[in-house]
Amino acid sequence: MDLEVEFLGTDPSGLQGEARIGFYARGTISRHDFGITFGLAADGTKIIVTDKVDLVLDVQAFLGA
């Protein structure tokens, strides 16, 4: 799985004075690739749940003591 990642920057003085860093990432996975086949449409039937799942991550991390 590939993710498009964007570095959002750093903040050397966060809310509590700690150093922080931020990232944003997005990508798409296939449920079938992970063996999840229930809920997928059989040929000639209506789609119940899509095979593709969009992932969106908004991550902040801080350096603790």
Instruction: Convert the pLDDT of each residue in 28-62 to its tens digit.
Output: 999 889 888 777 666 676 667 778 999 999 999 98
The total number of structural domains that make up the chain: 1
Residues of the domain holding 45: 4-62
Tell me how many degrees the CA angle 22-30-57 measures, rounded to the nearest 5. Answer: 10
Distance CA 5, CA 54 (A): 14
Phi, psi of 48 (to 5 degrees): -100, -55
- DSSP 3-state of 55: strand
Query: Which residues contact residue 17 at a Cβ distance below 8 angstroms, ignoring those fewer than 6 apart?
Result: none
Q: Distance between CA 54 and CA 62 in Å, rounded?
A: 26
Supply the pTM of this predicted model. 0.66
- Given a cut of 60, is residue 65 above it in pLDDT? no
